[in-house]
A and B are shown apart, each in its own frame.
Chain A
C-alpha cells in the first residue's frame, strides 16, 4: 500500500484506522515489553499481594504480588503471538486448500468440500477444546488447536475468489498459451486472493484471541508462567474478584480492546479490499 493509498484509507475509514492504530500500539507494546514493563512479570512479592493500583504498581498486583501492568504488557506478546499465529496458520492452510480445490475442481474439490464441512459442523470452541485436550499444553499446540476451526472459513472465502478469478480472460489466455497449472494457480490466481486473505486474517485474529481466553478459562490454554491475558482471568481472578476487582477488569479490558480493534480494522479492510462483500461499513 503506497503512502497515498494509506492516507486515503485513513480518510475514508477513520474507525478502521483507529483500529489499526490500536493494533499497532499493541504490537509495539509486545515488541518493547522489556522496556515498557516496570517489573519482572513472573517475580512474586509476598509483601505486596493484591495491592491496589498505585504509582509503583500502576494496575495493582495479583495474589502472588506480581505486577499486573507488567503482566499485561508481556501478555500482549503471548496474545498477539497466539492470535496472529493461529489466524495466519489457519488462513494459510485454508488458502492453500481453497486455491487447489477451487482451481482443480472435480474430485479434489468434492473431497476438500466434504472435509471442510466436517470441520465446520462443529462449533469453533468445541473443536478447539478437543484439539487442545488432545495436544500437550504449549504455545505452539494452542495455536494449532485454534487454527483448525479457521481453516474451513478461509478455505471457503479463497475458493470463492478463485472460482470467480478462474473465469477471467487473462487466465484463459495464460492457459491457452500453455502455462502450467501450478504456475497459473500460484502466479496468477494467488496474488488476486491476497485481498480476501488479509481481510480474513484480520477478522480471525480477534476471534483467535477470544478462543485462547476461553480455553485458558477452561484450563486448557497457554501454560504458566507465560502471562497470557486469558490465563490471567482464569487462575485466580474469579477468586479474588470481589476484593481486588482490578484482577478481573484490566486483563478483560485488554482482551476486549484488542479484539475490538481487530474488528474495526477487519471491517474497514473488508470494505476497502473486498468490495464484493458490500460497501457498507458496519462501524
Chain B
C-alpha cells in the first residue's frame, strides 16, 4: 500500500518536473551542420559589390557589422539594433556625429587584430571618399553614405562618422547585412572569391555552382557562439526540386524569399512536422511608366493605368496570396513606415475592381484613346518565369480596359542597362530594399538624380520633402511626413505599387533561432541558430 502511494507521489512529482522542463525554453544545444539552400551561386563573395540577397545570405556568416538588427526580433527598427563589433555608440553634435566604441578582443579569420582602421577603410571605400585609392568594381550603395562628410578613427577602438546634417536613419543602414566591415589588409578584389571576416563562421570549401561550406570560427569573440559546427549551402536550381528536398528532409532551411505560398502550404500539408513561418518582406513588385516619354506627362493617362490594374486580384492570382498591398513603404504590422489600410483605400487601384476599370476606360477616352484608336503599349520585364507571370497578369488587366498591351522579355543580364537607358514604355519589376527605412527607399527610387530611379520620375517638390524627412529626429513627426510623401507618390503615379512580397519559410522543426525579418537581407548571420536534434 505504502509502496503504491510512494510510487504515485513519485510519478506525479516526476511528470510535473518533466512538464516544467518542457514548457521552459530548452537550453540551446551546440553542434551539427545546418543544411541551407541557395537557388544559384552567389555572384561573388564581396557583399559591398553586390545588390542581391543571393550574395548577402550565404556570405553574412563570415562577417560582422558595427551593429546589427537583432536576429531574434521579427521587426527591424531603431529599437532592435544590437551591438556587434561596436560595443556601444552615441550621437553627438546635435545628431551630426555618430561615434562607435569598438570591441578590443576581435581577430580576423587570418589571426590579424581588428581595429578602427578597418572600419574607416571599409566605409571610406564604399562612400568613395576623396583621395581613396582602393575602389570597388561595382558600388551599389554609395548613395547610402552620401551624407557622410568624413570618418575619423582617433584611436584603435573609436570611430566617428561626421555627417553633413543630422540623419537618424544612418545607423539603420549600418545595421543591414549589406554593411559588413571589411579587413583593411585585404584588397576588395580578393574578397570576391573568398571571404575574410571576423564572423562566427569561416569559409571551408567552395565548389563553384554546387555548394559552399562553412565551419565554426573557434576564436569567435562572442563566447559560446556560434552553436553550429558548420553550415552547408547547397545550390538547387529547380524550384520543385528545392521543395522536394525540404519535404524529404534533405535540406533544413529554404532560400529566403522563396515566395511560393501555395506550394509551401501543400508541402506543409503532406509533411505536417515542418514549420511554416510567413513574414512580409520589403521586396516589392511594381510597374511603372517611363516618365521621360512625353505621352506619360499626361496625369490622366497615368491614373488610368493605375486604376486598370486591380491590386487585390494581382495579389490573389499573380502572387497566390503571397503579398500584401501597400504604398511605397512596407505597411504595418510588418513594417514601421507604411500606410494604414484606411489610407491605402484612397489610392487608385486599391478599390472595387469593376468600378475602377470603368473609370480607367473613361479617363482613357478623355485622353483620346478608345476602341477606334487603342492605346498600344509594350510592357517590359525580365525573362524570368515569375516576372513573366506577374507581367502576364498586368498585361491582361490593361487589355481589359482596352489597352493593346504586349510583353517584351528582356534577359536579366541586360535588364538594368536597358532600364538605365530608359528604353521602355512600361516595365514590371521586383525590387528589394536592404533596410525598411524611408531614406533607403526614397533616395534610391524617387529622387531626380538617383541612378536607380528607373521610371525617371522627377518632382522637385517631392525631392525637398524627402530631404526634409531625413533630418527629422522625432519619430512621430517624421512618420507623418513620410506618409504624406508616400500618398503623393501614389496619386502622382510615380511608380504603381503592386504588392510587397511575403515569404513562406518552410523549415525543419529542429531548427531554432532562425527568425525571418521584414527585410531578407539582414537576418543571415546564423550566430544564434542551433539544431534541436
Q: Do A and B touch, yes or no (CB under 8 Å, in the complex)? A: yes
Q: Residues on A close to B: CB < 8 A?
A: 42-47, 49-50, 63-65, 137, 219, 223-225, 234-236, 238-243
Number of interface residues of B (CB under 8 A): 36
Is B389's beta carbon under 8 Å from chain A?
Answer: yes
Interface pair B316/A241, CB less than 8 Å apart: no
Interface pair A242/B263, CB less than 8 Å apart: yes
- In the complex, how many angstroms separate the beta carbon of A227 from the nearest chain B beta carbon? 10
- In the complex with contacts A64-B393, A137-B409, A46-B263 CB distance below 8 A: no
Interface pair B384/A63, CB less than 8 Å apart: no
Is B270's beta carbon under 8 Å from chain A?
Answer: yes
Interface pair B407/A224, CB less than 8 Å apart: yes
- In the complex, how many angstroms separate the beta carbon of B385 from the nearest chain A beta carbon? 5
- In the complex, how many angstroms separate the beta carbon of A216 from the nearest chain B beta carbon? 10
Interface pair A63/B396, CB less than 8 Å apart: no
Interface pair A63/B317, CB less than 8 Å apart: yes
Cβ 8 A contact of B320, one of A44, A45, A63, A241 = A63
Is B80's beta carbon under 8 Å from chain A?
Answer: no
Interface pair B316/A46, CB less than 8 Å apart: yes
- Residues of the B chain whose Cβ atoms lie less than 8 Å from the Cβ of A50: 262, 320
- Give me 30 A-to-B residue pairs in the complex whose CB atoms sit less than 8 angstroms apart, sorted by A's number: A42-B392, A42-B396, A44-B317, A46-B314, A47-B316, A49-B320, A63-B262, A64-B317, A64-B393, A137-B383, A137-B409, A219-B385, A223-B408, A224-B389, A224-B392, A225-B395, A225-B406, A236-B386, A236-B389, A238-B238, A238-B239, A239-B239, A239-B240, A239-B260, A241-B240, A242-B240, A242-B243, A242-B266, A243-B262, A243-B263
Cβ 8 A contact of B240, one of A47, A49, A63, A238 = A238
A interface SS class = loop
| Most B C-beta atoms less than 10 A away, residue of A45, A234, A238 | A238
- Residues of the A chain whose Cβ atoms lie less than 8 Å from the Cβ of B383: 137, 219, 223
- Residues of the A chain whose Cβ atoms lie less than 8 Å from the Cβ of B313: 44, 46
Interface pair A223/B409, CB less than 8 Å apart: yes
- In the complex, how many angstroms separate the beta carbon of B331 from the nearest chain A beta carbon? 20
For B108-148 the 0/1 string (1 means CB < 8 A from A) is 00000000000000000000000000000000000000000
Is B70's beta carbon under 8 Å from chain A?
Answer: no
- In the complex, how many angstroms separate the beta carbon of A252 from the nearest chain B beta carbon? 13
For B260-281 the 0/1 string (1 means CB < 8 A from A) is 1011011100100000000000
| Most B C-beta atoms less than 10 A away, residue of A44, A49, A65 | A44
- Residues of the A chain whose Cβ atoms lie less than 8 Å from the Cβ of B239: 238-239
Q: How far is the CA of A213 from the CA of B389 in the complex (A)?
A: 18
Q: How far is the CA of A121 from the CA of B391 in the complex (A)?
A: 39
Interface pair B317/A65, CB less than 8 Å apart: yes
- Residues of the B chain whose Cβ atoms lie less than 8 Å from the Cβ of A235: 385, 388-389
- In the complex, how many angstroms separate the beta carbon of A234 from the nearest chain B beta carbon? 6
Is B318's beta carbon under 8 Å from chain A?
Answer: yes
- In the complex, how many angstroms separate the beta carbon of B264 from the nearest chain A beta carbon? 10
Cβ 8 A contact of A240, one of B262, B317, B388, B391 = B262
- Residues of the B chain whose Cβ atoms lie less than 8 Å from the Cβ of A44: 313, 317-318, 392-393, 396-397
